[in-house]
Amino acid sequence: MTESSDSSVEKTVAAAIATAEDTIDEPTLEVMEEGPSAVSIEVLKDVAVEPSEERSETASLSFLSSEQMRSMRNKDIPQPKTSEELVKELTKSEAILEQIVAQLKTAVAVKREWDSETKMAKKRAASLTIECAATKPTLQEQEDRFRAKEMECEVLRLNLVKESDRCAELEQAYISLRATNENVQKVTADLCARLETSKEAYEAVVQRAKRLIATTGKREHVEED
């Protein structure tokens, strides 16, 4: 499709150039002399041969006076163009033709570049389509693994919440045991102090009893003597 489009555009360019060149190369005017007055009549080269009635009217012009001929020439017949005007028109036509050719060449280049870019884009799209088709199963597998990991993470999160609650309970139990231990230590210290006091009192009683026993023994010996 691209090659046929380029060929059609190139044929169109060639035809336009050939037509323009033929138009420039053809003489635009043809001078005809009729009778002694030498009247110049401007005629297009590619115009068909005049009918007999028109030729009769042209021939009758030779019988008119020179003054009438000049008047008719000034009014009805365009003046022949000078060589300078023809050169200017030719130069202008060539410039226009060059612009047209340049524009057509630019259009052809743009068309080729567009076709090339379009072809590359289609190839890239086809390649990406194949890659997507090949990658889709892999992505599905990865998604399945991700969902499994997500479920595992959810289970671990719930277990972590339970462990956090358990840790909070253990911390409260530790605080309670610590307070109880402090109370036990206080009670133990109090009991030790009371035991020490009782021990001192007991030793005092024992010493007193020993003294009483000794005194009683002495009295018994004295009485026996």
Q: Is 154 left (phi over 0), alpha (psi -120 to 50) or beta?
A: alpha
Is residue 92 domain-resident? yes
Is residue 167 domain-resident? no
Q: What is the pLDDT of residue 158?
A: 93
Is residue 34 domain-resident? yes
Is residue 151 domain-resident? no
Q: What is the pLDDT of residue 25?
A: 46
Cβ atoms 6, 111 nearer than 8 A: yes
For residue 46, what is the DSSP state? T
Question: Read out DSSP for 6-18?
Answer: HHHHHHHHHHHHH
Structural domain of 11: 2-108
- C-alpha 141/C-alpha 75 separation (Å) is 94
Q: What is the pLDDT of residue 115?
A: 92
- C-alpha 95/C-alpha 159 separation (Å) is 88
Is residue 16 domain-resident? yes
Is residue 11 domain-resident? yes
Please identify which residue in the block is written with the tokens 């060059």. Answer: 98
Cβ atoms 100, 18 nearer than 8 A: no
Is residue 53 domain-resident? yes
Cβ atoms 41, 32 nearer than 8 A: yes
Over the stretch 52-92, which tens digit does the pLDDT of each residue have? 444 445 544 444 455 555 555 555 555 666 777 777 888 88
Helix (H) or strand (E) holding 64: none
- Of 61, 59, 83, 81, whose CA–CA distance to 70 is shortest? 61
- C-alpha 112/C-alpha 5 separation (Å) is 9
Cβ atoms 108, 16 nearer than 8 A: no
Q: Which residues of the chain have pLDDT under 50?
A: 1-3, 20, 23-56, 59-64
Q: Which residues contact 112 (CB under 8 A, 6 or more apart)?
A: 2, 6
Number of domains into which the chain is organized = 1
Is residue 218 domain-resident? no
Q: What is the pLDDT of residue 116?
A: 92
